[in-house]
Each structure stands twice: as structure tokens, then as C-alpha cells.
Amino acid sequence: MTLLTLSLYSYQIPLDKLLPVGNQRIETREGLVLQVSTETQRQAVEISPLSGIDVDGQPITGFSQESIAEVIQVLVESMPSLQGLHIDKLLDVADTTPLASLAYGLSLLHAKLNGKLSLHHDSAGIIPLIYRHQDEASEHLQQRVNALSNKVHAVKVKVGQTSMEDEILLIHQILAIRPDLKLRLDANRAFTLEQAIDFCACLPLASIEYIEEPCHSAKDNVQLFQTVGIPFALDESLNDKRYQFNMLPGLTALVLKPMLIGHLNRLQQLIEEANVNGVRAVISSSLEASLGIEALKAISLECTPDEIPGLDTLSAFSCDLIVSSGKQHCLSVDDLTLIHRCK
């Protein structure tokens, strides 16, 4: 298959409610769409590094190390050299670029063109995301928990964002409504070891599956497990290009955000290393729009079929992108801003 046309677009989608990015918040999601055509098909991928500015005008830290502008620059330079060549040339750029979101997007595009991902198939479900919206009344949160399907057996809860007392209360409120639920807590490295111990000591341990990146310092996660017995998961640690899998006491899961990890080959390597060591591998979003979420569902079905992915972020988006998730409005490429085209 030959790359006949390549078109790069940008999108900007306002959010109906603020979304948490670690301990920060965003009110708009921005990113890119790369669309290509061959002799027989047309495919598009979302490339949206989780970087930029939060609602307070501060740089988003702890996630993507590249900016959208850097991705645009590399793509605009690379697109002319790809046109007219075999789709395998996409992997040449993916293999060499230091930009994780670009490596992911190009390797994903290659997989889609080769038919390696089963798109347009619903996954077994998603893990609902529970967090208190800004200035949200507690009864509204209770209504959302009450509205969860009886088929939902686990939820993800953001912690380390407000006061410790409020978040302990939140966890107990959720379990009072649905005592059958198992909770996956996501702390985004919010706690010192002492704070994490104090926090976890107040939790119903039997209801906690694990806590993601609880401590400022990754080495303290093991000490937390040895002190209170709550297993932990790694998330932000995996975004470091130098990360090498190392089995640790208490490590129970890798939470994998492909947009931050990079090439699909690296993603697969991490999944295989986790599986060999009896560690769960859970695909999670980097707040992608619906085009990106569709791809993550397909990746989860293909690579981690026994795990329900953590992809419950689309409810905050005011519209869909290319692929409809059921929202009233879905942006087409004609609604996006064209940056560069080779045809």
C-alpha cells in the first residue's frame, strides 16, 4: 500500500466541565488529526500530547514532554518525504522520533492501515471515573454513583486533589451506596509517604484494588505497601523513556497511556513484561477525544482482552471528533483547521 495523500489538522474542543490532569484542571482539549489515504482506504489518527496550559494559565506538568507545536513541526517536515511511499515508511519516523505522541500516532496509523486493530467493536465496558467536580454538591455526586449500572463492579476515584478528610469521606460515601464496588484510587504522586500512610489507614482496605502512584517519590510506594498492605500501580513512572520494568513488592498493575508511552512496540513490550510477572496491564486514556478513545478500545481488546480499560473521560467533551460516541455534534475533518496537506 502506498501513501497517496497526507493531511494534518488541528482541533480544539471545549469541555463541558473541567477535567483533572494530575492535580491540575483543563477546560479545553487540543490536539491533531493525521489523515492519510492509500489506493484502497482512508484512515485517521488522533495525536494529542497531554501538555499545554491549565485553567490557571500554568504549564501542565508530569505528562507529555512534547508540545503540539513540536509535533506539528516534525510532521510538516516529514509528510512530503512519506508521500508516494509504502506505508511501512510511517514506522521509519515512528522508530526514530523522540516525541512519544508522534511515535504512538504513526505506529497506530500503520496498524490501522494493515488491519491489525478491530475497530468499531464495543469493548466489554469501561471503568467509570469518579471525582468531585468543582463546587459540586455532594448529592449530585451521590446521584452519579446511584446511576452506575449493576454491571459495573469497579470504579476509578481521583484522590490527592482536595483535603484528605473530604476524600476519605468521598470513598466511604461511594461504598455506602454501592458496597459491592472495588475502587482503583489514582493519586498522581500527591502524597508524601507519611501522608499516604495516614490516608490509607482510614480506608476500607478490602474494597481497594490498588492506588496509582501514591507517593511523591516512587521508592516510597513499596514502603507504603509494606506498612498498610495496599497494592500500588505505576502510571506516571511509565512515561519516562528510561523506565525499565522492575518487579517490586506490592506492584500489582501498570496503567498504560499509549499517547504518553509512545510506539506500539514499546507498549506491547511493557504488557508482556507485566504478564510474565503476574502484574496487570490496564489501558488508560490521556484525555483523548472520541477518535483517540476508539483506538484505545481497539488496543485494549487486542492487547489486554482480560482487562477493562480506563477510558471514562468523554462525558466532559462538548462534542465528538470524527467518530461518534453518541454526542449531539461530531466534528468532521471539514470542521477542523487544516495545517498541511500533501496530495
Q: The CATH number of the domain where 65 resides is what?
A: 3.30.390.10
- Number of neighbours of residue 245 by Cβ within 10 angstroms: 17
- Determine the 3-state secondary structure of 176 from DSSP: helix
Are 169 and 295 in the same domain? yes
C-alpha cell at 100: 512519544
Are 255 and 229 in the same domain? yes
Q: Across the chain, what does the average pLDDT equal?
A: 93
What are 56-105's pLDDT values in tens digits? 999 999 899 999 999 999 999 999 999 999 999 999 999 999 999 999 99
What are 257-306's pLDDT values in tens digits? 999 999 999 999 999 999 999 999 999 999 999 999 999 999 999 999 99
Are 171 and 262 in the same domain? yes
From CA 282, how far away is CA 304, in angstroms rounded? 7
Are 261 and 141 in the same domain? yes
Q: How many domains does the chain have?
A: 2
Contact in structure between 338 and 11 (CB atoms under 8 Å): no
From CA 36, how far away is CA 132, in angstroms rounded? 40
Cα–Cα distances (Å) from 258 to 149, 254, 264, 270, 317, in that order, read 28, 12, 7, 11, 20
Q: The CATH number of the domain where 300 resides is what?
A: 3.20.20.120
Are 60 and 155 in the same domain? no
- Determine the 3-state secondary structure of 213 from DSSP: coil
Give the pLDDT band (50/70/90) at residue 324.
very high
Domain assignment of residue 233, yes or no = yes
Q: What is the pLDDT of residue 14?
A: 97
Contact in structure between 60 and 86 (CB atoms under 8 Å): no
Contact in structure between 261 and 239 (CB atoms under 8 Å): yes
Residue 21: φ, ψ to 5°: -125, 95
Are 280 and 190 in the same domain? yes
For the cut 80, the answer to whether the pLDDT of residue 135 exceeds it is: no
Domain assignment of residue 135, yes or no = yes
Domain assignment of residue 124, yes or no = no
From CA 213, how far away is CA 237, in angstroms rounded? 8
Of the candidates 112, 100, 64, 99, which has an alpha carbon nearest to the alpha carbon of residue 294? Answer: 112
Domain assignment of residue 122, yes or no = no
Contacts of 67 (CB under 8 A, 6+ apart): 49, 51, 52
Are 305 and 250 in the same domain? yes
Are 13 and 25 in the same domain? yes
Domain assignment of residue 75, yes or no = yes
Are 251 and 170 in the same domain? yes
For the cut 70, the answer to whether the pLDDT of residue 117 exceeds it is: yes
Domain assignment of residue 170, yes or no = yes
Contacts of 312 (CB under 8 A, 6+ apart): 126, 127, 128, 129, 156
From CA 332, how far away is CA 286, in angstroms rounded? 21
Output the pTM of the full model. Answer: 0.92
Provide, for the chain, the percentages of residues in helix, strand and coil under a 3-state DSSP scheme, each rounded to the nearest 5. 35, 25, 40
Residue type present at position 127: I
Are 209 and 88 in the same domain? no
Mean pLDDT of 203-210: 95
Residue type present at position 250: G
Are 52 and 196 in the same domain? no
Q: What is the pLDDT of residue 144?
A: 86
From CA 90, how far away is CA 77, in angstroms rounded? 13
C-alpha cell at 62: 508530569
Give the pLDDT band (50/70/90) at residue 161.
confident
Are 150 and 281 in the same domain? yes
Domain assignment of residue 72, yes or no = yes
Q: Which residues are catalytic?
A: 158, 257
Domain hosting 135: range is 129-317
Domain assignment of residue 33, yes or no = yes
Q: What is the pLDDT of residue 136?
A: 67
Q: What is the pLDDT of residue 122?
A: 56
